[in-house]
Amino acid sequence: MAEYVETINSARKFATGTIGFDDTYPNIYSMVWCTPDLTPGQCRACLAATIAEMPRVFIPNTRGARITGLRCSVRYEVYPFYNGAIMLQLPGTSAGKKSNETGKILAIVLPSVAALLVSIVACFCCWRRRTKSKNLLAYGSHVEGIDSIESLIIDLPTIRTATDNFHENRKLGEGGFGAVYKGSLPNGQDIAVKRLSQSSRQGIGELKNELVLIANLQHKNLVRLIGVCLQEDEKLLVYECMPNRSLDTFLFDSEKRKELHWGKRFTIINGIARGLQYLHEDSLLKIVHRDLKASNILLDADMNPKISDFGLARLFGGDQSQDTTNRVVGTYGYMAPEYALRGQYSIKSDIYSFGVLMLEILTGRKNSDSYNSDQSVDLPSLIWEHWTMKSVMEMMDPYMSGDSSQDEILRCVHIGLSCVQEDPAYRPTISTINIMLDSNTVPSQPPLKPAFYVEMGGDIVSDMYSRSYPGGVNDSTSKSNAMSPNEMSITDPEPR
């Protein structure tokens, strides 16, 4: 039953069934349910123990009953009490001679029916799960940790029903790897379905990467994966739906930005930092996100931030502190210089991205916008200029005024500038950032000029542009890549 429940609906594991009884009660309707965190074996054990208790706690002469435990429940009635199609229908069974104590008969028959329901459906599910697991592995070589996502499999018909067969009106947006649709599961839970483009080779590797990573991560500031579907050439990831969508839809909208007073912005900054600390330091896995940006920060109904999109993330093991790639992926404008120019990435690369994001939240401006009529001056450079002239408050979003704290804002600007330093060694760790956010402390050293620093006159003064690095990155290439708009994402030409 647990395996069948997880296949049908990973958010709320349940199954329904009916069996013929007698002339008085032609059908008995039953439903069993387990909490989503239980494994198939734990679900079966919980249901078996609950069913065994029914004869002892059953009250005679009643026509229905429910036993609810901490992790599972069983209910039956002589009438349909649930919506939707019946998942399993069994033929009628003889109840023996009629008795005035109908409730006693039901108490004897139902546990047998429920147990049969559990056994039949569990066997059916084992076959389906083995088939679906093979489908998953057919998309590429074996991925370490793939077994951890088997319990998240959802049937394609369930997702098609939830999204009105991927109707255009259900589309929330579209990215480089496919579209995202809003849907609703049978239990009423809203979901967001990420539908990978069928023609995308590169996205398959990223989907598997995202599955393995996020299936093993749990934090209130990370988006929660509900399920996965790989059937009929469809490659789907199912997430909890964030009603307020992504941070960029508020931050860079002239009207919606008015809703982001200082208190909300500080809460968002704090939440992102907490989620990042979990990835870098607190989880069993050490993960570099590599694509932290405003559009990858989702907002729930209370405007709490959740980091999303782990397709480009990388797992670090043991004492590993950095890695190098000859395929730079991510989003220009948020990339740390050592990554954009040399392909080197580490947790300090994420810190750089966090610093850019933090400055965007404080100013309500995109890093890619032009702030000089003659030259394209990036946001960190502009903030640095005003910081040195002690006029940085002039650059802050005016919609933060009123209830804002100037001291808190200045402390956040200081932290943000410290995160975008050219040398990764000068950038603080995320745990240090959280300590500073939670207290009245600031970095011990004043921030230096940011990486990719551009003077107000338009001259690039960062000496990173005058150096050559292994891999053939030269001066002209560096200039072109580093100053590209930060909406432009670059990705691998094929799976890694």
98 belongs to an annotated ligand binding site: no
Distance CA 403, CA 273 (A): 22
* 14 Cβ contact list (under 8 Å, min separation 6): 5, 8, 31, 32, 33, 34, 187
**Helix/strand/coil (H/E/C) assignment for every residue in the chain:** CHHHHHHHCCCCEEEEEEEECCCCCCEEEEEEEECCCCCHHHHHHHHHHHHHHHHHHCCCCCCCEEEECCCEEEEEECCCCCCCCCCEEECCCCCCCCCCCHHHHHHHHHHHHHHHHHHHHHHHHHHHHHHHHHHHHCCCCCCCCHHHHHHHECCHHHHHHHCCCCCHHHEEEEECCEEEEEEECCCCCEEEEEEECCCCCHHHHHHHHHHHHHCCCCCCCECCEEEEEEECCEEEEEEECCCCCEHHHHHCCCCHHHHCCHHHHHHHHHHHHHHHHHHHHHCCCEEECCCCCHHHEEECCCCCEEECCCCCCEEECCCCCEEECCCCCEECCCCCHHHHHHCEEEHHHHHHHHHHHHHHHHHCCCCCCCCCCCCCCCHHHHHHHHHHCCCHHHHCCHHHCCCCCHHHHHHHHHHHHHHCECCHHHCCCHHHHHHHHHCCCCCCCCCCCECCCECCCCCECCHHHHCCECCCECHHHHHHHHCCCCCCEECCCCCC
Q: At what angle do helices 347-363 and 430-438 cross, to 10 degrees?
A: 40
Catalytic pick among 37, 155, 248, 291: 291
291 given a catalytic annotation: yes
Dihedral (Cα; 363, 427, 282, 203), 10-degree rounding: 70
C-alpha distances in angstroms, 8 versus 123, 183, 208, 452? 15, 15, 21, 51
Distance CA 28, CA 106 (A): 9
Detail the residues annotated as belonging to a binding site for ATP: 194
Would you name the residues annotated as active-site residues? 291
Residues forming the annotated binding site? Answer: 194
